[in-house]
Chain A
Amino acid sequence: MTMTTMMRPTASALLGTTTDGGAAPRPGESLPGAPLRTPVPLAAATTLTMAKAINAGLRQAMLDDPKVVLLGEDIGLLGGVFRVTSDLLAEFGARRVIDTPLAESAIIGTAVGLAYRGYRPVCEIQFDGFIFPGFDQIVSQVAKLHYRSQGRVSMPITIRVPFGGGIGAAEHHSESPEAYFTHTSGLRVIAVSNPQDAYGLIRQAIASDDPVLYFEPKRRYHVKGEVSPELGAPMERAQVVAAGTDVTLLCYGALVTTARDVALAASDDGVSIEVIDLRSLSPVDYETIEASVRKTGRLVITHEAARSGGLGGEIAAVVTERCFDYLEAAPVRVTGFDIPYPPAKLESHHLPDLDRILDGVDRALGRRR
C-alpha cells in the first residue's frame, strides 16, 4: 500500500508537517532492515513431547516470519514454567522473546498494539486461571477490533493457555475456561491433544489473520509422539481418531487419550465407538460431527469444564436440531461438575475418567438411565 498519511492542512507552515513525509506502516508493509529469513524445517519425523512439539512449532513460525514475537511471564531464560519456550530467547533475542512484567491485561493489550503495527504476537498465559486479568482485553479488544474497524485492523494474535486438571495443582492452576471464549464472537479457539497436532496447529494459529486461543492440555505436555514437519488438517476441522458405528464420542484436549481408552474398553464389550477429536472449539466442525451421528445415532460429549453453559450443551443442541431424525437417544454429557475446581485430593471425582465416560456410553445406549 502506498497511501500516504496526510494531516489536515493548517495555516501554519510548520505545524502538522513531517520530517520524513512518511506515514506509520500498515501491517504487511516491509520496513527497512527486516532480516532475511531462512526456514529450517523440523528434520523429518522426530519423536517429541507435546511441550517440545509446540516449541518446535514456535521456532519454525519465528523463522518463517520476523514479525512473530513472543510475550509472557518467565518465557525467556526459564523457557516458561512448562519449558515450552526453551532456548528461543538464545536463538531469537530479547526483542522477540519478551519476558514481561506480571500483568496479563498488559500482555494482551500490548499485543494489540504490536498487531496494530503489523506484528504477530504470541502471548503465553502462564496458567488457565491467570487469564482472567486479561479477559477484558481479549473480549473487548482482541475479539472485536476487526469488526469494529470494518476489517481494516487485523488481530493475528495467538494466546497460548495451558489448561485442564489432573496434575495435583493448587487453585487456579487446573481450570478449563474455554467456554468463555467460544461464547465470544471474533475468536477462534483450538485445543490440541497430541504432539503432531500441537506442532501443526500452533503454526496454523500463528499464521491465521484471526486471533486464536490455543489451549494446551498441561497433563499431556510430557507425552511423546511422532512429529513430522507437516501442518496437518486445517485447524477448523475435527478429526476422527477412532472409527466406530454404535456411539459417537466427542472430546478434546487431555480427554482425547481417555476417550481412545474408552473406545478400546468398549470394544471388548462389543460396542463400537467413533472417537472424534474436536481440535477446533470455535468454530465447531459440525460437518464431521453430523456425518458421524447420522451413522451412529448416539452422541456422548465429554469435557473437563463445568457442564452448565459448556461447549457440550451447545453441541448437543446443534446436533439435536440438525440430526433429530437420526438420533436413537438423547445426547449425553460427561463433564466436570458445576463447581469451582476442587482441591487436588478430590480432582479425580471432578474429572471425567474412563469409567465415567463408559457410564455415559451406557446411558447413550439405553443400558442405564
Chain B
Amino acid sequence: MSESFPGEIPANLLQLVSPDGERMASETADPWLDDVLAADLVGLYQDMVVVRRIDTEATALQRQGELGLWPPLLGQEAAQVGSARALRTDDFVFTSYRENAVAWCRGVGLTDIVRVWRGNAQSGWDPYSVGMATPAIIIGAQTLHATGWALGAQHDGTDSVAVAYFGDGATSEGDVSEALVFAASFQAPVIFFCQNNQWAISEPVGLQSRANLVDRALGFGIPGIRVDGNDVLAVLAATRMALHRARTGGGPTFIEAVTYRMGPHTTADDPTRYRPAAELEQWKAKDPILRLERLLDSLGLLSIELTEQTRGLADAAAAELRAGCIGLPDPEPLTVFDHVFATPNATLDRQRAEYTDYLASFDSTGGKA
C-alpha cells in the first residue's frame, strides 16, 4: 500500500528486469519469452519512447488550449506496451481513458487518440478496425463489456481473448466485482488487466483495498499474477501466460501490474496537493523506459544510431499528432443529432427539423433575419 510503504516493491512480484537494468532469471516466466529477440526489445523500447513523447505533446497541446483535457500515462508505458504487444489482432481490448499506449500499439491513428479530448466527438476511432472498444469513462463499466465479448468469443468457438484494462480505483466499483463473478462462472476467455498506479485522482490505493488487489481474484476463483508494471518484459510474459490460459479453455486471469502514475490524473489535476514529492522521486528511480535502456545498454544494443532513430520516430509522431489535432475541423452543428439511434425516430427527427429551421432563420451576419 502506497500509504504505508511508498515505492516499496513487494517480494511476490514477478520481475524480470531490475530497476538497474539487470535481467533476472525466472523459471516460470522465462519460457514465455524464448522467442523474444533483440529486435523485439528494440521494438518495445521504441513503443515506450514514442508513447511518452505523444504524452508530452498532448499535454503541451492542452496547455496551449488545443485540447480541453488530457489524461497522461507517464510512468505506465511498460504496463501498457508490454500487455498490448502480447495480443493478437483478433483479440479485443476494452479500456478506460488512460490507455493511450494500448491505442498506439493497436494501431489507432494519432489524431483519433485526441479527437475526444479536443471535444470533437465522444469517441475517436472505429473499434472494429483496431480491435479496441471506445474507451469507457464510467469507471469499471468496461470490465463487464470485456466479459460479455469473451462469452461471445467462447460461444463462437474461437480462441480470441478479451482484455479489460482498468485501474486500482475501479476495483472498488461493483461492476468489476460482477465482471469477476460472471467471468469465473462461465470461464470466459478474458484478462482483467489492472494497472495499479497507486492513485485514483487523490485517493491512495490503500483506501480502495487493505490487501494487494491481486488477492481479490482468488476469492472469485480466478488465478492472479502480480507483476512489476514498470518491467516491460515481465508484463509481456505475464500477459502471455494469461492469454494462453484463456485461449486453451482455462478461463479468466487477473493481472495486477504494479506501476505508478508519475503525472497528474489529468491536466486539470494538481498532485502536489495530496502526494509527497519523495514518493515520486522513489518511483522515478524505477522508470520503465530508463530500466529498458539500461538492459539494452548491457546487451550492447543501445547504440547512438538506435537512440537517434528512436528520437526521430518520437518527434515524427509528435509532429503528426500536433498537425492532426490542430487540423481537426469543428463538427457541423446539425451532426449533434446524428447516430442517437440506428433507426429513424420521429421525435428526434422533429427536433432536428425545428433546430434546422432555427439556424436557417439567422442571416449571413449572424443576426436574426
Contact = CB atoms under 8 A, between A and B. Distances in A.
A15 B86 CA distance: 7
B148 A109 contact: yes
Contacts of A144: 122
Contacts of B86: 15
Contacts of B234: none
Interface string B119-146: 0011100111111011010100101111
B155 interface: yes
B89 A146 contact: no
Interface stretch (A222-230, A247-255, A282-290): A282-290
Interface string A1-39: 101111110111111111111111110000111000000
Nearest to B175: A105
A32 B159 CA distance: 13
A282 B348 CA distance: 10
Contacts, number: 236
| Interface magnitude class on chain A | 35 or more
A150 B339 contact: yes
B144 A105 contact: yes
Interface stretch (B31-39, B207-215, B253-261): B31-39
Contacts of B105: 7-8, 16
A342 interface: no
B341 A210 contact: yes
B341 A117 contact: no
A85 to B, nearest CB: 18
B322 interface: no
B85 interface: yes
B292 interface: no
B175 A109 contact: yes
Nearest to B152: A117
A175 to B, nearest CB: 21
Residue of B91, B141, B145 with most partner-chain A CB within 10 A? B145
Interface in B69-85: 85
Contacts of A109: 141, 143-145, 147-148, 175, 178-179
B228 interface: no
Given A8-B107, A12-B42, A150-B339, A24 B91 contact: yes
A208 interface: yes
B250 to A, nearest CB: 18
B94 A113 contact: yes
B47 to A, nearest CB: 6
Interface stretch (A95-103, A271-279, A327-335): A95-103
Interface string B145-179: 11111111101111010100000000000110011
Given A14-B40, A114-B151, A283-B346, A150 B121 contact: yes
Contacts of A287: 346
Interface string A138-162: 0011001111111111101000000
Given A137-B141, A137-B144, A283-B347, A100 B182 contact: yes
Contacts of B37: 12-14
A23 B347 CA distance: 38
Contacts of A14: 35-37, 39-40
B145 A113 contact: yes
A185 interface: yes
A14 to B, nearest CB: 5
A148 B156 contact: no
A121 B151 CA distance: 12
B239 to A, nearest CB: 11
A140 B148 contact: no
Contact of A95 (B46, B155, B346): B155
B44 interface: yes
Given A18-B88, A186-B341, A12 B129 contact: no
A116 B149 contact: yes
A151 B141 CA distance: 20
B25 interface: no
Nearest to B343: A210
A214 interface: no
A218 to B, nearest CB: 26
Interface string A280-303: 001111110000000000000000
B43 A105 contact: no
B37 to A, nearest CB: 7
A82 to B, nearest CB: 23
B294 interface: no
A117 B156 contact: yes
Interface in B164-203: 174-175, 178-179, 181-182, 185-186
13 contacts: A6-B107, A12-B40, A15-B40, A18-B89, A22-B89, A23-B89, A24-B89, A32-B157, A100-B185, A106-B179, A109-B178, A149-B122, A208-B342
Given A24-B90, A150-B338, 8 more contacts: A1-B128, A5-B131, A22-B90, A98-B186, A109-B179, A148-B134, A150-B121, A210-B341
Interface of A: 1, 3-8, 10-26, 31-33, 69, 95, 98, 100-101, 103, 105-106, 108-119, 121, 133, 136-137, 140-141, 144-154, 156, 185-186, 188, 208-210, 236, 282-287
